[in-house]
Amino acid sequence: MLLLAFAIPIGFHQALWASGLLALSSLVAMVANRRVGNKALGGGLRWGLLLIAVYWLLLLVSMTYTTDVATGWEILTLKAVMLIYALSFLLADTSWLTSRLMRYVGYAFVASITGVFLYLAGVAVGKMIGGSTLGAVTGTTFDPRHHAYTAIYLAAALVFIYHELYNHWDELKPVLRRCLLGVIPVLILYIIMVNSRAGMLTLYLVEVACTVHFVLTRRRWLWAAVMALLLAGYTFGMEKALPSHESRVAETVENLSSDEPSDARIEINGGSLDAAMKQPLFGYGVGDYRHCLVEQYDENGWDYGVGAEFNAHNQYMETVLSIGVFGSLLFLAMLAWPVWQAWKRRSGALFLVLLVVSIIAFNLLFESMLERQMGLLFIGYALAVMTLTVSCEQNKFGQLPKK
What's residue 48's pLDDT?
A: 82
What's residue 394's pLDDT?
A: 53
CB 246 within 8 A of CB 239: yes
DSSP string, 2-46: HHHHHHTTT-HHHHHHHHHHHHHHHHHHHHHHT--S-TTS-HHHH
Q: How many CB atoms lie within 10 A of CB 125?
A: 12
Which among 212-216, 258-262, 291-295, 355-359 has the top mean pLDDT? 355-359
Range 333-338 contact pairs with CB under 8 angstroms and sequence separation of 24 or more: 333/51, 334/48, 334/51, 334/52, 334/55, 334/383, 335/360, 335/361, 335/383, 337/44, 337/47, 337/48, 337/51, 337/387, 338/48, 338/383, 338/386, 338/387, 338/390
**Residue 400 has what DSSP assignment?**
P
For residue 145, give the 3-state DSSP assignment.
coil
Angle at CA of residue 106, ends 217 and 198, nearest 5°: 75
pLDDT tens readout for residues 143-197? 888 888 899 999 999 999 999 999 988 889 999 999 999 999 999 989 888 888 8
Whole-model pTM above 0.85?
yes
Contacts of 146 (CB under 8 A, 6+ apart): 367, 372, 374
* Percent of the chain scoring above 90 in pLDDT: 20
**Residue 195 has what DSSP assignment?**
T
User: Distance between CA atoms of 111 and 183, rounded to whole angstroms?
Assistant: 9
- Is residue 50 predicted with pLDDT exceeding 80? yes
The model's confidence at residue 245, banded by pLDDT at 50, 70 and 90, is low
pLDDT tens readout for residues 19-34? 888 888 888 888 887 7
- Is residue 305 predicted with pLDDT exceeding 90? no
- The mean predicted confidence, pLDDT, of the chain is 82
The model's confidence at residue 253, banded by pLDDT at 50, 70 and 90, is low
Nearest one of 88, 80, 157 to 370, comparing CA atoms: 80
Q: How many CB atoms lie within 10 A of CB 233?
A: 10
What's residue 108's pLDDT?
A: 95
- Is residue 81 predicted with pLDDT exceeding 90? no
The model's confidence at residue 398, banded by pLDDT at 50, 70 and 90, is very low
User: Distance between CA atoms of 265 and 345, rounded to whole angstroms?
Assistant: 40
For residue 358, give the 3-state DSSP assignment.
helix
pLDDT (average), residues 110-123 = 93
Nearest one of 379, 373, 369 to 316, comparing CA atoms: 369
251-284 as b/e, with b when 16 or more CB fall inside 10 Å?
Answer: ebeeeeeeeeeeeebeebbebbeebbeebeebbb
pLDDT tens readout for residues 83-111? 888 888 888 888 788 888 889 999 999 99
- List, in sequence order, the alpha helices (H) in 258-393: 264-278, 289-299, 315-344, 350-363, 373-391
CB 40 within 8 A of CB 391: yes
How far does CA 160 lie from the centroid of its chain? 13
The model's confidence at residue 235, banded by pLDDT at 50, 70 and 90, is confident
The model's confidence at residue 395, banded by pLDDT at 50, 70 and 90, is very low
